[in-house]
Structure 1
């Protein structure tokens, strides 16, 4: 599975296709096409099912929801909260209603129409965030609005998953569980359980988690283990309350998202999530019924067009009503022209519960493949696409203004000084450079060491290239490392030379000087030699030597 996925991801990169689409294609190749992977439909409690694959796919789902929860920082969408809530909820209502009616017209049953409408409602947080980050537009005005909308959608997803958990499954085997009274009771218990977990997550983020994760900051490995422990503890608690593991993982991520170390945690958990989520999407592709998808090609085409065209139209109208310009409304709307990874999860859970058959899952998979692939190119080329639409006056019908919106986002750092390692030397350097009028960014793995500094600060480990890119290393005028860690200093100097940034490194011992010089360090900070020289001068001035 991994070898096939890796080969297709390499091909997908050549055409800038998202890796999720490549994973699903890998499942199609290994499953329906070659018959190498065969998955039998089973309920979560079926012990005859292949346990290894079940655990791997469930780990992928849990880590995906955990990572999405980690994105739900309230500070991210504070300035665009109103439009995010209005557009998010408005789009959910209109798309769900339109998708339900359209599915009924296409002669699906009421239950199948409900699942299809729900699957069409949500957009892919993972795909869009990755593409906007690739374009360096994640923190632009339309990027912040889009992220805010996705976070609202994610909360609606959790409500939908809670609703599904409360419906029960056919595996329960009792007719009473199908009665209206029992179903109502199950739903009430599910929402009460979610409320209890939500309150526990929010209280923990305020009173329980900040101190231990502050202690674990200098130890990245321990911090990741603690975060995963917290995640799986919530998963166990959710299942104990009769909820799905997705709800527990999401709420665990939500509680950690409010901490100072949340951004660093996301970077560390992401590679682990990538591996398990690949297994999940490959297994989904392997379970896809190609013959059913071919027979339902007309329905899949109509639903795909509804997502690609209908969703942006709905968002354009709502965002324009909130007073935003044509450009902001269009760029934001283009980001939602696909269905979400949650759509696959939701449909797979419905099939496992016996509420829908594999035909509906196959249609959702086809719609996902089409919309994620096409919308990715729409996002990558959103500015040229807007220029064409604006030139021909295609956006006037939405009534948005043509004057550009003011973007209150903090501009990216440029011409700044990066200081790494907030020991006594690092703090002194950062404070003194700031006092002299320089724009300084101080970086350390321990948030406590950054407290009280007058300059900009960032929690992160500079071994990660993503941390250096986020810190704006390519645009920095000078980089300084005050660390006493030989390998980290060497790697940091190497990265600085790659980007052509002058670098000063702490030569804390004579044995490290040679490597630093060979790597091209511009300035060596030799604290021991300098202190010895100053001590010698003072002794001479005092007449002692």
Structure 2
């Protein structure tokens, strides 16, 4: 019998607390504890938690709030300058990673369509891991954080186009109308967001800034409202949330909102990583283990190297280039979304879908270890590396 939502949450968060305690004592990244818990008590483990559809939908809120908070931390003028510099790096690196994924998948006998989709899933780096392991001070005040966010945002935009193409392929042919709709909808949504903030939200925040509960409510409403607006225009809810944050970033109250929403974001991110581990069907692992290990190894080795040379070509220092390369040396939660959408539309088989998922899990875990043991992060293994 399927467990109730209350009992499911009890098992998830109690189990997460236990494994997280072990992870902290042994200096392990916390996300590993959450993924492991999903594999242990999910439907392919002990089966204590089975309502993955609901948990996956709830976990999506974690990504939405994460991108909203990222937007709050970015000044529009600074972001625009960063995007201009990062565009070439994002495009060239995405093409290189797609070629790596396609070549290995095709050599293991996957169909051309499956190989293309696997290659597309390799193009992106994880926003969640990249930002979670970046010190807050670096995100707020240092160029490292700005450049990383710029690259991740450009990758997210590319991911939206990939998803649009997948939806078009499900209808048997490519639909240029969907892409044209996106090109028109995005700038329109940006203009609307800044207009609403300037003429509606900021006057209201100024008038009622003494009521903290009201500020909290208005911020969540604005974030979710922009997410829904973006989704209705054919964009992604995540892009809408990011625009909601950027449009509020010029407000003096933006940092107050960001600080107060972090606990809510972390709540949903625990569910996100749990659902990642719980969704993985261990019975398929034997069929794709070798290819997943090889693909993950290629990504973990070549992504930092490619990013290092491309970022260094922008006149950045080698130290900064290596730092960003290793922090972005995994694949993304968008890669998982591509796998789920493509499998649901029968564009790829079960093995191809699980190859992407297994590569994501391996790259998440190993990349987290590399960063935690070598670069400053909130969970660094020593006082020298531990920075909030």
Tell me which interval the TM-score lies in, with the shorter structure as reference length.
Answer: 0.7 to 0.9
Per-residue CA distance 1:464-510 (angstroms, 9 max, x = gap): xxxxx98xxxxxxxxxxxxxxxxxxxxxxxxxxxxxxxxxxxxxxxx
Q: Distance in 1 between matches of 2:346 and 2:365?
A: 29
Cα contact 2:74–2:146 (8 A) shared by 1: no
Q: Is the 1:70–1:262 Cα contact (8 Å) retained in structure 2? A: yes
Q: Which residue of structure 2 lines up, in the alignment, with residue 12 of structure 1? A: 23
Which runs of 5 or more residues in structure 2 are unaligned?
Answer: 1-11, 377-386
1:35 aligns with: 47
Higher relative contact order (CA 8 A, sep 6+): 2
**Hey, what's the Cα distance between the residues in 1 that align with 2:199 and 2:98?**
38
Instruction: Give distance in 2, aligned partners of 1:155 and 1:187.
Output: 12
Change (3 A) 1:258 1:88: farther
Aligned partner of 1:127 in structure 2 is: 129
Partner of residue 324, structure 1: 316
Q: 1:34 to 1:89 in 2, by over 3 A?
A: same
Instruction: Tell whether the 8 Å contact from 1:162 to 1:194 is kept in structure 2 after alignment.
Output: no
Residue equivalent to 2:370? 378
Change in CA separation of 1:353 and 1:218 when aligned onto 2, cut-off 3 Å: farther
Report SS of the residue matched to 2:298.
helix
**Where does 1:302-341 land on structure 2 (aligned, <5 Å)?**
302-341=294-333
Q: What displacement does 1:239 show? A: 4.0
* 1:258 to 1:341, Cα distance in 2 relative to 1, 3 A: farther
Secondary structure of the structure 2 residue equivalent to 1:277: helix
Distance 2:143 2:82 in 1: 8
- Give the one of 56, 59, 84 matched to 1:57: 59
1:357-391 alpha-carbon deviations (Å, 9 max, x no partner):
4433432332222222222232234369xxxxxxx
State the 1:190 CA deviation: 4.5
Partner of 1:299: 291
Q: Secondary structure at the match of 1:63?
A: helix
Contact 1:25 1:285 (C-alpha < 8 Å) held by counterparts: yes
TM-score by structure 2 length?
0.81
Cα separation, partners in 2 of 1:86 and 1:262, compared to 1, 3 Å? farther
Give the counterpart of 1:111 among 110, 113, 121.
Answer: 113
The counterpart of 1:225, out of the listed 192, 217, 232, is 217
Equivalenced residues, count: 365
Larger radius of gyration: 1
Q: Distance in 1 between matches of 2:56 and 2:366?
A: 31
- Cα separation, 2, equivalents of 1:99 and 1:294: 20
Following TM superposition, by how much is the alpha carbon of 1:215 offset from its aligned partner in structure 2, in angstroms?
3.4
**What CA distance in whole angstroms lies between the structure 1 residues aligned with 2:190 and 2:164?**
12
- Between the aligned partners of 1:250 and 1:351, the Cα distance in structure 2 is 27
Decide which structure has greater helix share. Answer: 2
Contact between 2:230 and 2:240, CA under 8 Å: does it hold in 1? yes
Which blocks of at least 5 consecutive residues in structure 1 are unaligned? 41-49, 170-176, 385-468, 471-545
Q: CA RMSD in A?
A: 3.1
Could you tell me which residue of structure 1 aligns to residue 259 of structure 2?
267
In structure 2, the residue matched to 1:178 is 172
1 CA distance for matches of 2:316 and 2:62? 38
Question: Structure 2 matches for 1:371-410, cutoff 5 A?
Answer: 371-382=363-374
Give the equivalent residue in structure 1 for 2:384: none
Give the distance between the partners of 1:252 and 1:20, measured in 2 at CA.
27
Q: Is the 8 A contact 1:71 1:257 kept in 2?
A: yes
Check conservation: 2:295, 2:359, Cα contact below 8 A. Answer: yes
Aligned to 2:9: none
Q: Distance in 2 between matches of 1:93 and 1:214?
A: 46
Structural mapping, 1:350-499, within 5 Å: 350-382=342-374
Query: Do structure 1's residue 147 and structure 2's residue 149 form an aligned pair?
Result: yes
Tell me the distance in 2 between the aligned counterparts of 1:379 and 1:338. 11
Q: Deviations over 1:133-157 (max 9, x none)?
A: 17x5444444443333223323333
Distance, in Å, in 2 between the alignment partners of 1:297 and 1:347 is 17
1:250 aligns with 2:239: no
Contact 2:121 2:339 in 1 (8 A): yes
SS at the partner of 1:209? helix
Could you tell me whether the CA contact under 8 Å between 1:143 and 1:332 is conserved in 2?
Answer: no
The alignment's TM-score, normalised by the length of structure 1, stands at 0.59
Cα distance in structure 2, aligned partners of 1:232 and 1:185: 26
Q: Comparing both structures, which one devotes a greater share of its residues to strand?
A: 1
Q: In structure 1, what is the Cα distance between the partners aligned to 2:255 and 2:240?
A: 20
2: distance between equivalents of 1:4 and 1:160?
36
Match of 2:35 among 24, 29, 40: 24
For 2:242 and 2:152, the matched residues in 1 are separated by 14
Tell me the distance in 2 between the aligned counterparts of 1:268 and 1:236: 22
Change beyond 3 A, Cα 1:328–1:226: same
Greater mean alpha carbon deviation, residues 98-107 or residues 314-323: 98-107
